[in-house]
Structure 1
Amino acid sequence: MNWHTKQMKLGACAVGALTAVVLAVSTTPAAASGTYSGRAYFWGNNNPNYWFDWDDEGLIQTSVHASSNAACLWQKILWADGELSSTSDIDGVFGSQTKNATTAWQTDEMNKSEGWAGLKIDGGVGPQSLKWAAVNRLLYKSGSEVPGQILNLTYDGTHHDFDVRRIADGNYEFVDGDGAWRKAGYDYRTCS
C-alpha cells in the first residue's frame, strides 16, 4: 500500500468517526434540552437531597411528552397549586388547558420569588419549573433518602396535597385518581 492510499484510508476513517459522533450527539435527549437525563421516568438518587432530584428532567409541553404519565404528574402539581380546578382535569394530556395553567403557575411562582433565576414563563415544563416545584413543595413523609431505599414524600400544594414516592430504583411514582401508584414515565400514559 502506498503513502497516498494510506492517507485516503485514514482520512475516510476520520470523516466516518466524526460523522458518527455528530449523529450520536445530535440525537440524544441531553443534547436536545441541555440538561435532560434521558431517562424514561422521573428519577432521583443522584443528589444528596430529594429536593434536587427533579433538576434534570425532560421537557413536558404540547409538543414533547404531551401524552404521558409525566404530564399527569405535572397536572397533579397544577391541581394541588390551584391552577387546575378539578381532578377531572388530570388526564395526562398536555393540551391548551394545561399550557395555560402552567403559564399561570409560572407567573404565580415568579411573583412569589421575585424573579427566581431560571424560571421562565413559557407554558412549558422544563427542569427549572420541576426543580422549583420540588424544592418548594416536596415534604418528607417517611422512608430513607439513601439511594436504593423507598422515600415517601408529599407534594404540599397551596390548595391540595398528594403523595409521591421515590422507589428503590430511583424512579418516581405518584398516586393516581384511582388510588393506584403510577410511575411518572415520559413515553406512555396510564393515569386516570
Structure 2
Amino acid sequence: MSSSRTRGLRRAAAPLTAAALALGISAALTTPAAASGTYHGGAYVNGSGSMTDGDWNNEGVVNVSTHRNSNVACLWQTVLWADGYMSASDIDGIFGDQTHAATVRWQRDRGLVADGSAGRNTWTKAGQRLNNSNPGRSPDGFWYGGYAGKNTSFMVRSSSAGNWGFAGADGIIRWASYNTRTCS
C-alpha cells in the first residue's frame, strides 16, 4: 500500500476514533455511579444476599432528581410505607414531593441528616431492619428475608448474583432496578 494511501486511511479513521472515545467518555460521565459517589454501579440494589445488617450500605442515591422514576424509588416508598410514613396507595415508583417529605420525616426520626434524599446513610439505616428468614439459598436459588418496618413488614429476596427483589404493598415481586419502573 502506498504511503499516501496509508496517510489517507489514518486521517479518515481519526474522526471515528475520536467520536468513539467521546461516546465512551460521555457514557461514563452519565452513569448512576458518577451521580451518587457511593453507588456500587450496578443496575439493581445489590449485595451479599445474606440479608444481614450492612447489605444496603452502598446503594445509589434516590431523590427528586436522581433515579426519580424507578423500582428503587418504589422500594424506598415501600420502606416508608412499612414504617408508617406513606400509605400503600401512594407507592408509585416516582420520588416526588410527597416521598421527599416522608423521607425527611423518616430521617429526622432516626437522627440522620434530614435532606430528603435516600443516600448511603439512609439506605444503611434502613438496612438495619433487614432479617434473614432462610439461612441458605432456597431451592429456587434465592435468599429470602424481610424488611421489618414499624407498622408492617414486606418480603425481600436476593438472587445468586446479589440483585434484590421485593414484594411491594400490592404483593407483586419486583426487581429493585435503577433503570426501570414497573410500580404504579
Quick one: distance in 2 between partners of 1:173 and 1:30? 20
Quick one: distance in 2 between partners of 1:24 and 1:94? 24
Partner of 1:127: 120
Partner of 2:147: 155
Match of 2:132 among 134, 140, 143: 140
Cα drift, residue 95 of structure 1: 0.6
TM-score, structure 1 as length reference: 0.75
**Are 1:44 and 2:47 counterparts?**
yes
Match of 1:33 among 25, 31, 36: 36
Identity, % of aligned positions: 45
Partner of 1:9: none
Query: Unpaired runs of 5+ in structure 1?
Result: 1-15, 111-118
Amino acid at match of 2:80: L
Distance 1:97 1:24, change over 3 A: closer
Cα drift, residue 29 of structure 1: 3.4
CA contact (8 A) 1:69 1:190 kept: yes
- The alignment covers a number of residue pairs equal to 162
Partner of 1:59: 61
Query: Unpaired runs of 5+ in structure 2?
Result: 1-17
Cα drift, residue 32 of structure 1: 3.1
Q: Moved runs in structure 1, 4+ residues, more than 4 A? A: 19-28
Quick one: distance in 1 between partners of 2:178 and 2:62? 8
CA contact (8 A) 2:74 2:94 kept: yes
Quick one: distance in 1 between partners of 2:28 and 2:43? 18
Deviation by residue 1:27-52 (Cα, 9 ceiling, x = unmatched)? 44333322111111100128x87322
Quick one: distance in 2 between partners of 1:69 and 1:133? 16
CA contact (8 A) 1:43 1:171 kept: yes
Distance 1:26 1:92, change over 3 A: closer
Q: Please provide the CA RMSD for this pair.
A: 2.5
Cα drift, residue 88 of structure 1: 0.3
